Structure 1
Amino acid sequence: MGLILTTIGFLIAQTYSVKPSQVASADWKINMQQQIQNDTQLLNNMNRGPDWKVRITSRINMNQYHIDHNIPPTEETLWGNMLNAADLMIVVSVMTVIIAADSVAGEFTDGTIKLLLIRPASRAKILLSKYISTFTFSIVLFVILFITAFLVSGILHGFHDMSAPYIYASSDTIAHETNIVQHAINTYLYQCIQMVMIVTMAFMISTVSRSSSIAIALSVGIMFAGTSIVGFLAQYNWAKFYLFENTDLTQYLNGSPNIASMTLPFSVTVIVVYFIIFNVLSWLVFRKKDVTA
């Protein structure tokens, strides 16, 4: 918990080392107009493919929407840092993965699994209790992350402009606005879904493995390797069945999925299928596992 608090404070303080003055805050329109001019020149003078054009055009349309409707950029409100702090969910995930990976495998490593199994509780109950305790730990860290990010961002930026809408561009480059509070909450909750799947996978590996060190190393390795190749696999249509292409549900908040044919219901279905497979495999292995050695 202390590490989470320290990391959040450092990240937000670093991105907001000097509090902007009223004069500087009033210049956001000028800065956006300059960005629009620069992006327009890029579109006219360079050609890097359709994806690059969509990204630049979307940014132009979003900046113009801010100017036309007199909506300050999200980065100048507390929600900007709130959304940036959502990336720290990876820290929560790593900590919970270590706990999950050691939860069952650690019992076999230390030999304490025998002390659990001689009690009247069934194996299913023991496994479920460990699974629930792991998620209790992750939820506590998640709540601390959200509340701390909100308070620190509010102290540095002030709690004004809390009702300013969030501007985003859909896949057709058209700018839209949505409720910023709802968008921030959805961002964190969608990140939480990704954490749930990673932790469930780590728990399954812990159940299958007899070594806590192997379970931790393998779980953390799969987590980082699995998420790092998402962008590379996005060029293949079959990759939509790949777990980590679907776990980041924030891709649907802006209407820009990793693979064009993917939809939110499809990703939810894929996640549920993997979730069931991981838990069924954990239960079957733990139920039949030999502990006499």
Structure 2
Amino acid sequence: MIALVKNEFTKLFSRKSSWIMQIVLFVAVLALALLMFFVSKIDTSGVEGGDASNAGITAYYDDKGAPVSEEEYWNSADKDGNPTYKSETLSLTDSVAYLKTQEQAAPTKEAKETIQKQIDFYQAYVDADEKPASNSAGISSADFFASLGSSGAVATMLVVVVASIIVATEFSGGTIKLLLTRPYSRSQILFSKYVMCIVYSVISSITLLVASFIFSFILPKQSIFMPLSPSTGAMTAFEHAWMLLGTNFLLMIVYATIAFFFSSVVRSQALAVGVGVGVLFSGGIIRQLLPLAIEKYDWMKWIIFNLLSLNDTVGGSKIAGGLADWQIIAGLGVYTAIILFFTFFLFKKRDVALS
């Protein structure tokens, strides 16, 4: 069995396309970094030990000096559209104190959790005597690395392409009969090819991580070991990147399994690639429509397209239906197992004489 896996590894990486796709991924990350560099206007002055005054949140007060919400602040506008209430950008230390007061007055558990994340964010910068970057008009090196260069979908697409052709090429090239004459069962042959899909997913993930880290230095500097955003609390860019890499790898496996299924049941290499990539891109469209349906039919939260929003949970967001992370992962695991079962079942029943 090990010899069979080694043989599949040699076959996969003897193709120039396998290496070219990794180069494409590397170049795609570089292109996005350059694009963001040219449009970025981020101000990172004072990031390292700079003046921490006026680097915190903006607080709003009414005429009597009592704290009000941002919505109430803008609702106080006069006929010329100018707010009559006051606003003030606080220092980091004052921001923490102000948020603690707001947390005590928060009406719901969700509101308290949101405010606590902001407290954790600003407290980390107070303790480190550093100033968070103002990224209202751009993206920093930490943001770029944390998002893996916004190229997770590109890496997944390349894995889908490999999974789509790894079996279909044996049929289109007429080599499937020769492969089946070897002293291995059909299940062993198919399993070795699936292992290669996983290996290629690992390689693509490593390429994505390395490229994102290297090209992040093109952008304005921000430490990857400091909290990333008030919305993610004390989570650093380094932690965010690794968590996103993990969830994206799980999605790679799911998408690769779907593509692998079509590669095993169709004879056309082009059709297998088309269907595999089509599933990848159509999933994003369907996920946009699902929240409305889930509000009416709760059971639809378990549809695979909803579970494919796993990456969104890294930043603390909830997917439609409010499923916990472990529920999403468990659901994807069940779907993957079912798809693999039918893949092996149908492949064992295929008549290769028609190839």
- Mark yes or no: TM-score above 0.5: yes
Q: 1:13 aligned to 2:13?
A: no
| 1:5 to partner: Cα distance | 1.5
Distance in 2 between residues matched to 1:280 and 1:209, nearest whole Å = 16
Residue number among 135, 138, 152 corresponding to 1:89 in the alignment: 152
Residue number among 261, 266, 272 corresponding to 2:333 in the alignment: 272
| 1:241 to partner: Cα distance | 1.1
Q: Which residue of the partner structure matches residue 273 of structure 2?
A: 216
| 1:289 to partner: Cα distance | 0.7
Q: Which residue of the partner structure matches residue 250 of structure 1?
A: 311
| 1:64 to partner: Cα distance | 8.2
| 1:209 to partner: Cα distance | 1.3
Q: 1:151 aligned to 2:206?
A: no
Q: Secondary structure at the match of 2:255?
A: helix
Q: Which residue of the partner structure matches residue 83 of structure 2?
A: none
| 1:262 to partner: Cα distance | 1.0
| 1:67 to partner: Cα distance | 5.9
Q: 1:234 aligned to 2:296?
A: no
Range that drifts further, 280-289 or 101-110: 101-110
TM-score when normalising by structure 1: 0.80
Which of 1 and 2 has higher RCO (CA within 8 Å, sep 6+)? 1
Q: 1:128 aligned to 2:191?
A: yes
Higher CA-based Rg: 2
Q: Which residue of the partner structure matches residue 201 of structure 2?
A: 138
Q: Which residue of the partner structure matches residue 165 of structure 1?
A: 227
| 1:74 to partner: Cα distance | 8.4
Distance in 2 between residues matched to 1:35 and 1:229, nearest whole Å = 39
Q: Deviations over 1:149-169 (max 9, x none)?
A: 1122135445x6232123343
1:123 and 1:287 in contact (8 A); partners too: yes
AA aligned opposite 2:302: F
- Between structures 1 and 2, the one with greater helix share: 1
Q: Secondary structure at the match of 1:229?
A: helix
Residue number among 192, 203, 226 corresponding to 2:249 in the alignment: 192
Residue number among 203, 206, 225 corresponding to 2:282 in the alignment: 225
Q: Which residue of the partner structure matches residue 132 of structure 2?
A: 72
| 1:240 to partner: Cα distance | 1.3
Range that drifts further, 192-201 or 21-30: 21-30
Q: Which residue of the partner structure matches residue 103 of structure 2?
A: none
Distance in 1 between residues matched to 2:284 and 2:175, nearest whole Å = 34
Residue number among 334, 340, 343 corresponding to 1:282 in the alignment: 343
Q: Secondary structure at the match of 2:233?
A: strand
How many residues matched? 277
CA RMSD of the aligned region, Å? 3.5
AA aligned opposite 2:159: T
1:168 and 1:254 in contact (8 A); partners too: no
Mark the runs of 5 or more structure 1 residues left unpaired by the alignment. Answer: 46-57, 170-174
Q: Deviations over 1:48-102 (max 9, x none)?
A: xxxxxxxxxx999977876675551485653211123353111111111111111
Q: Which residue of the partner structure matches residue 6 of structure 2?
A: none
1:82 and 1:153 in contact (8 A); partners too: yes
Q: Secondary structure at the match of 1:257?
A: coil
- Identical pairs, percent: 24
Q: Secondary structure at the match of 2:234?
A: strand
Aligned CA distance change for structure 1 residues 205 and 67 (closer, same or farther; 3 Å): same
| 1:142 to partner: Cα distance | 1.3
Q: Secondary structure at the match of 2:226?
A: coil
Mark the runs of 5 or more structure 2 residues left unpaired by the alignment. Answer: 1-21, 62-68, 76-112
| 1:41 to partner: Cα distance | 5.0
Q: Which residue of the partner structure matches residue 178 of structure 2?
A: 115
2:121 and 2:230 in contact (8 A); partners too: no
AA aligned opposite 1:213: A
AA aligned opposite 1:114: K
1:89 and 1:195 in contact (8 A); partners too: no
Range that drifts further, 211-220 or 61-70: 61-70
AA aligned opposite 2:256: V
1:8 and 1:149 in contact (8 A); partners too: yes
Range that drifts further, 244-253 or 131-140: 244-253
Distance in 1 between residues matched to 2:134 and 2:44, nearest whole Å = 16
| 1:206 to partner: Cα distance | 0.9
| 1:224 to partner: Cα distance | 0.8
2:121 and 2:227 in contact (8 A); partners too: no
